[in-house]
Structure 1
């Protein structure tokens, strides 16, 4: 009679053990799930806060890093601390879509630098007088143009492998003083424009297709291009004519000029709203910002106000709510302290609410704020 009792006791004990194991397993699983959920929320929040606007201070050999959400400078990257000269002349920036790395051209050092999210220099490429940058959205290609300030730059643009910053190729062009540079959203086509001639090169490097388009009339001096999110329209800003040019690029090999719009004196670097409904850019000589309705192809509004002093570069927050405009301020248009020596004036970044179209903040950065960039889309 004792053996069955022992057997029953052991059986009951095993059930309790099993219950404890199941309970422990459920608690551990729930803990892991909650931890992952919490980590996921933190990650999602950090993604919102991690968009940075990179501003070239061409006269200060530095880059200001602005938090796109708080509109505060979080760091100023002093290029002299990395061994570059006071005449490094940082000109243009762009960042990876996830913000993991960002790139800047140095006109004075013939370099394109690669920094990580923590603003640590990780690599560089050597290219003569590099200017504007454009990124391939799918491949690790970084397209590098030539500086406007260069009197006789190479008649080519560079292709750099972003992963190791090797210069893969310098593609010859058929015109002098290349400057304007952009790519289509699918990355298949790149467009390069001339400062000295009304000429645009369409090129598909992968397929080795290219074509040169020439426009009649007076030289526009193409400052830069931008392509709509749907990839069907490209616009160009003309420094001398003060015009915005519209091109149908449904056939990228043969851009077709479909319209011209007088916008202001010296329209500069354009940027599209995420939905492609609006185009924004600065009129450098007018100290103003143009807002163009892309459906009507008309100038809908001109924004003026404090801090707009030779507007140069344009960048948007991911949600399109805030427009960031860099300003050279070399002529002293913005001088709140009444400084006599305008050589000591700082450049600015003007933050504009795109919904109200009002200036919300003026951020003082370094001297001669030029190119401005953020996460590529």
Structure 2
């Protein structure tokens, strides 16, 4: 009878998606469907849609516009920005809202350093004139600890150094970037010459020595030296595709994957010896936006806006394209919701997740 009851308990756990004792939860991919106020959750192992979190059922309007998401390294919580609701939500692993930050105007991208308690929040690029500041938020209380003045307009791309000691943010409107010492709050402004790049998002190498960002207006990938943080300097500039969006750097191979939104392609870039190694195209790449890698780097997950309706059966929803990084071939297309944008992960690699070598829990 005891064995029978144990079997029933195990079956119930599996049916409810709860891992049994000693069993690690399957890696999750969180996909913001900005066009319908939902978040799709994908099992990265089986490459299937696990569930959809409907924010309308949780009291938000259809214009809540979930934009970007990050998760705790242990999978205990995940965070999502709502542009249309001026809110940042904190969910637990059962996808229940456990806390929130209200009245944070047009929150955009998020980043966190796992061993520090701070969640960093920039501003959405959809706003005409968002506040010129970066939010430093206590993840345990979801209260703003500090608003750091960026001085430049439209602060958007965001990254944290692996040890959590420096944060970087840049302007969508001017060729200005800022490095911030998260301990002393010292800031350093870097100005770029030439054409306005409009960098969309950063990605950083695992050792924190280099930072990359794609220029929306130029179709170029900028490679920065970050060894003298908070200062930044440009090492190289590469031509990739039209409107490079949210890149990710594989912590195993060191290769970067850059989604080119208006070229419907992915550029594969060697960051250590800056060069474009390959360009991935194919069915399922339709305005690629966000990128996440599995922990072993074997598969790349890409969110696609698909606003022209060229992919998936109905032509109304977005898709997540799964790419085998060994062959650069598309192996699966997963239908999600309308206008998927930022994506994040528990158990995988993503653009804004810092490393695990932070010092202590101080801000």
TM-score > 0.5 by shorter chain: yes
* Residue ranges of structure 2 left out of the alignment (5+ in a row): 1-18, 347-352, 356-363
Larger radius of gyration: 1
CA displacement at 1:182 relative to structure 2: 0.5
- Larger relative helix fraction: 1
Distance in 1 (alpha carbons) for counterparts of 2:285 and 2:199: 22
- Map 1:99-118 → 2, pairs under 5 A: 99-118=75-94
Distance in 2 (alpha carbons) for counterparts of 1:327 and 1:43: 36
- 2:40 aligns with 64
Range with bigger deviation, 275-284 or 232-241:
275-284
- Give the 3-state SS of the residue equivalent to 2:84 in structure 1: coil
- 1:202 aligns with 179
Distance in 2 (alpha carbons) for counterparts of 1:248 and 1:129: 30
Distance in 2 (alpha carbons) for counterparts of 1:234 and 1:106: 27
Distance in 2 (alpha carbons) for counterparts of 1:204 and 1:137: 17
Query: C-alpha deviations, 1:254-313, integer Å up to 9, x for none?
Result: 211110000011100011102252001210001111111223311111111111110000
Q: Does 2:224 correspond to 1:247?
A: yes
- 2:304 aligns with 327
Could you say what the CA RMSD is over the residues aligned between the two structures, in angstroms?
A: 1.4
- Give the 3-state SS of the residue equivalent to 1:261 in structure 2: strand
Greater RCO (Cα-Cα under 8 Å, separation 6 or more): 2
CA displacement at 1:50 relative to structure 2: 2.3
Q: Does 2:191 correspond to 1:220?
A: no
Query: C-alpha deviations, 1:162-215, integer Å up to 9, x for none?
Result: 111111121111101111100100000000000000100000131121110001
CA displacement at 1:103 relative to structure 2: 0.5
Distance in 1 (alpha carbons) for counterparts of 2:107 and 2:225: 28
Question: Which of 34, 47, 52 matches 1:76?
Answer: 52
- 2:338 aligns with 367
Distance in 2 (alpha carbons) for counterparts of 1:253 and 1:142: 19
Query: C-alpha deviations, 1:295-343, integer Å up to 9, x for none?
Result: 3311111111111110000111111111110000112232545x5xxxx
* Residue ranges of structure 1 left out of the alignment (5+ in a row): 1-40, 340-344
Distance in 2 (alpha carbons) for counterparts of 1:355 and 1:43: 33
Distance in 1 (alpha carbons) for counterparts of 2:26 and 2:75: 7
CA displacement at 1:130 relative to structure 2: 0.2
Distance in 1 (alpha carbons) for counterparts of 2:138 and 2:330: 38
- Give the 3-state SS of the residue equivalent to 1:81 in structure 2: helix
